Structure 1
Amino acid sequence: MESNVFVAARKSGAFSVTRYSIPEEKKVGSVVTNLAVDLGLDVDTLPQRKIRLEIMASKKYLEVNKDTGELYVTEKIDREYLCTTKISCILKMDVYIENPLRIFYIELEIKDINDNAPMFRRDKLELDVSESATPGERFSLTNAVDPDAGENSISTYDLSESEHFTIEIQTWSDGAKYADLVLKKALDRELQAVHNLILTAVDGGVPARSGTASIIVRVLDTNDNAPQFDHQVYSVNITENSPIGTQVLKLSATDSDDGSNAAIIYSFTFYTSEKTQEMFRLNPNTGEITVKDVIDFEAINILEMHIQAKDKGHHPLSGQCTVMVYVIDVNDNYPEITIKSFNNPIKENVPVGTVIALISVSDRDSGSSGMVDLTISDLLPFALNTTSENHYELIVSRLLDRETTSEYDIIVIGTDQGSPPLSDNKTITVELLDVNDNAPKFPKSFYTIPVMENNAPGSLLSSVTAFDPDFHENQYLVYFIIEKEILNTSMSMLFSINPENGDLYALKTFDFEREKEFLFHIEARDSGVPPLSSNVTVHIIILDQNDNTPVIVSPWRAHGSVVEEVIPRSTDKGYLITKVIAIDTDSVQNSRVTYLFLQIPDATLFSLDQYNGEIRTMRMFSYRDPRHLRLVVVAKDNGDPSLSATVTIKLSTVEHVVKAFAETFEVPLEYDIFSDLNLYLVIGLGSVSFLLLMTILVTIVLKCQKPKPTKPTPPCRNSVVSQRSSTVADSTLVSNDAYWYSLFLAETRKGKVVVRQPIPKSGGYIVSSIPRSTGLTETSDSAASTLQVNVSP
């Protein structure tokens, strides 16, 4: 759009037109002309006059130097871009010079050069020509274009060499040229289905430029050829039992035609049996024959198929062939094992060689594939004997033992001699019947069973259980105690055993002080025919409980009474006042007795040996000490919990001792443990016989005598220890047996002997005080006394 200044200048005629001409290949930066010189301007005044250039175009390609007035190229000039439809190309420009304002009109002609080659709108032309087309038939082709103008545009067309085609060049009204393709020789698609041609367009420039396009002529088919198979008869081998889907053969029929005329459909003809069509599948499109069903050589070994190939033309043509399929036999039949007879179950003691089963084997295959070897699994006490061809006996090869193995799974294996060999197996389960060939067995040959005394009658002591590896009634055990008498008492009166499970019970309460142990046998007997049995020794050990309280036998006193002792006040330190002796019928720890003061008036005056029970003075009496003293001694066993007994000793001190006592002498206490036999042997001695006789007489006298209450200090008749200064040699009494043994104590003053004897069939003992000699004095007043003490219920 022109500016107002330019319009005003043009109307006033204050401008002139100058035309220049340049080729379009002018380089960027090159000077076209000097406008100041051409327009007659003063170059020196140009900087003050502000020359500028306006181009009447969409893009600015030229620029004027404001200082020198030179017109130069600023961008590459493309004539085809600026003038797309014009043969001549003129670029108009306005030059403005101020002070005073002047406008110059300039036209710049762009001259064309042959810088563009002809170019087809499509570089690939495709034509479909029927092979039935006649020579002389024409086919239009697309033309080429050249943006150059004049003689630089398209001048002619050329076609590559071809015996079937040529071109004719036509000129349009605007001068454009185009070419037609002309058929000059008949086509045969089967000989050449596609013709590739090159069309070339050439311009008139110097040097000339050209462009090419590819012409693809596709010859359209007519159905003038029938499908043809490679062979009229095909022979193929297939292995029987081939998997379904296995390819047998892929037919390939060819048809020289094209398109639907060459598209082939394969099918079985009516000459192919239905059985064959059931065994094979024919793909109608690909001609592939595959296995459709199981092929069995034993059923049929040759198969014949008749196949047709038909094209899809408007008037279809077809061809046929025959396919012969030969089935190859394979070892596809497994041996068949048949159990003809089977003796099961069998007794475990059957003889070696006993026939258990009759077995036969067969194979449908022939030749080596039908020959079968029969074996059994390698672990069994069994073997196979061949009786005839493919017939066998299964026999016992060695002795059987149900307790080792009660059941055998015999795997019979049949293997043919085919390649590869096939095998089958059958499992025969042989059950063994039990025979009573095992006696009951106890885990141990000797049972030691500890039993605490005072047990409750009927309490379970232990379980004595045997095991019998036999089965059913042969393993059902009955337990009983083998009868044995101990001291006229049967074991069945003391113990009971559960006949079914071997639980052993006590029928009575045991007393350790009477019974220490029992030894007997228990028998286990099975219920087989004949029955088998075994026995085991049982040792019952009675364990002691602390169930007996210590009994004080010295100094002896009647129940609830107080022991009285008289000693002189002039005794020295260490004087033996008395000796406390207690016995405990328990055993070991439970029978060990220790002695302690329970009550003592003066701890500095008396001492008590905790082990032997001796009470001695620790110093001499003084005038301050009372004349009558009371001592309480406790005898305690070592049981848990411990049991104890006490004795109270009333001690009186006197100034003078009766003369008769001064003549006494001390004899140490002696005791020993005798059995009844030893006691009678001692009595058998002559000296002891006299002493025994005198003891009996004195005892009778003492029993008939009454005590004299008028005497102030009579000696304690029931004491087993002297009232005077007597000594007892040993105070430890051991009683760990169920029987009592003799105990001899000696008293120095009157020679008393205390004898402890068992009381038959009772729970107590007798303590007898017997004078040692008949020489009784007035002061002694000694007599025999007897005390019975019960120590157990």
Structure 2
Amino acid sequence: MGACWGPAVRVLVLQAAWALVGGQVRYSVPEEAKVGTVVGRVAQELGLEAGEAEARRLRLVAQGRRASVEVSGASGALVVSGRLDREELCGKSAPCALRLEVLLERPLRVFHVELEVTDINDNAPLFPAARKNLSIAELSLPGSRFPLEGASDADIGANAQLSYTLSPSEHFGIEEENSNSRSKSLFLVLTKPLDRETEPVHRLLLTASDGGRPSLSGTMELVISVLDANDNAPQFNQSVYNVHLPESALEGTLVARVNATDSDEGINREVIYEIVTIVPPSASDVFSLDAKSGEIRLTGGLDFENVPFFVLHVEATDKGTPPLSGHCEVVLEVLDENDNAPEVRVTSLSVPVPEDASVGTVVAVLSVWDRDSGSNGRVRCSVWPASPFGLVSSVSGSYSLVVREALDRERVSEYEVEVRAEDGGAPALVGSRRVRVPVEDVNDNAPAFAQAVYTVLARENNAAGAELARVQARDPDEAGNGRVRYSLWEGGVGAAGAVGGVISASSYVSVEAESGRVWALRPLDYEEVQVLEFEVRAVDAGEPSLCGNATVQVWVLDENDNAPSLLPAAGVGAGAGASGRSSSVWESVSGESSGSLWAWAAWGTPAGQVVAKIRAVDADSGYNAWLRYEVWEPRGKGPFRVGLYSGEVSTARALEEADGPRQRLVIVVRDHGEPARSATATLSVSLGEGGEAASASSGAGSSGPGLRASSGAEGGSSSLSSLSSLSSSTNAWLVAAICAVSGLLVVAVVLCGAWRWAPRAGALSGRGPATLVCASQVGSWSYSQRQSRSLCVAEGAGKSDLMVFSPNCPPPPAAAAKETQPEPPALLDTVSAAPSLASRPAPRRPRPLLSLVSVVSPGVGRRLWEAG
């Protein structure tokens, strides 16, 4: 009984609870719940026991639309049996409640169940289209709004509350506006001016997000096309066109091709080119521009040296309304070519240059430049041809022409210097400038005579005032420095006199100051002065003055102006046999042309015995003093003869009584001058017996100093022996002399021939061991030991007066010796002995010794003298 009342009680309780809630059960389930999800336990809500719901057949009765829930018979729970989609079931209605009826049989009862399907954010916002195309004018102002259609969300409530975002853009933004309580207006807002040329199309992404958790979103692409306007000027692809062209570029050469683009479209982008300005303005005819292509070409020549740079301002204009323009610059750099030679200019010139200018003296200052540039303008300078001048560079482009070596105006009086400038181009170009540099004279040269020693041949007895010689000194300086005046230097003059000592030359000669002529002040006398030596000084007119000296030797040539003079003679005894003897003595001397001599000889004296000796001298010299002796009377064959050159009177045959007691001989002494001069001597020879001759000799010996006689037989014998020895010695010397003279004659002939065909000179001056001089017409032996100074050469035949002397002249002063130039080698160095003449004392002067004699024709000597 209790068990029966239990269920009933529960039913009652269920009914009571149901009644309390209005008789309706409410459940809530989220949409999209999984199948099998328990929504509510209806059996328990109705108070049914487990298993009772199936027994009493508890089931769900749908009303109208199919429910996606059902009641499980076993458990009596309301479970999800299908997909619950709130949007499908209720759409936008809220809340979404499903009314369900639960039927319970046994007993039959109907219960109402309200199932609320709650919304979940299972639907994303959805735009009407995935892409939205918009067209906006380029010139639209910022702030302009363009309406957009918003997105929709099937959910409700917060899940349907949408917010919009726009992808980042500097030109656009998004705005929402509440137009009414049910919807909002959506606008696209322009925040920054558009530039079609920069970005002709803008692609933006509009996103709508709901308020669910998690939030869902939907997107729409906005494609915004910017409509073009002529708001862009043409733009060059380069603001500056840098162009390099060589200056040798020809006309028509393409300089540059400018290119301007316009970001606009259509007619707004068509461009026309034009040259607005050219720098420099003078180059307006050098370039041309094609208005359509933008090509700039040369219409003229380029010259780097005139205009190295050109700047062209080019304008490009479009055809829009209004037209817009752009600008650019074309900078043309002209490349230098080596088309200009260096230029040399003399900026300062200091001439003439003194010849004693020191090294480093600046002669000229020159400016050197090359209009080219770079290596083409780098210049190297040099002096051509080689000269005593050089270049010194002080600063760039400036050179000084300086003295490098010592100058000598006498060697080069003027220089033509060419300064050459060569650039570094390839090929190199050369410029030059000639500079005339005269050298100014300074008195640096003393007058110099052509000869250190002048040898002059002058005949004695010349007329006073005659010109003896002409000396000439050359001074290579100019003007006053080279004007020479001559004078006789008293410090170095003198003459070798016949009586010895030094005689002042100024008493004999004078020197003309201007011409250098040497004049004779008085006649010369060989017997008084044989060599007159003096010095001539040449002084220039420079400041200070310089001088030079030359020695003049005047050789006085002897003339035959003196006749032979007889000297007192000593007797020489001769006789026949041991007792024979002879002697001789002068009896008297009358004047200088004649005299008487007494001699004694014994009969029987053999031939060749010397009975007397005639002695004579001639004040002249050479041939003029070479004496020869002849028996004038008696003519024909006499018992006596005289030595041609010795003057010894000897027996021609043995003396006989038939010859008489006395023989008278007239002996003539002649010189070899022309005309010849002579003197006569009378010799009286007494003949007798030997005793008489001896007594006569003794008597003669006591009668005067001129008698020499032997006493006694011994004396006579000794005298004869001595005389014989002297005669033999003399003959030997004569033979040797003849051989030597013959050999030297051959040598002289050969030398004459050689000199005849050799280059001839009028006079060779200089000291030497032996030199040829001219003799007189007849020719004479010369006994001079002085050194010769001159050489005379004739053009005549081989027979000529050819004599070699070694004069012993006093040496010149030391100064003159230093100035003496080297002399040619002597013609003849060999000096041989000549035959000795009759020994005789010199009455007035020392007789010179003979060096070399060649007897030749007397007529040629005069021609040699006249030629000399």
TM-score by length of 2: 0.39
Q: Which has the larger radius of gyration?
A: 2
TM-score by length of 1: 0.42
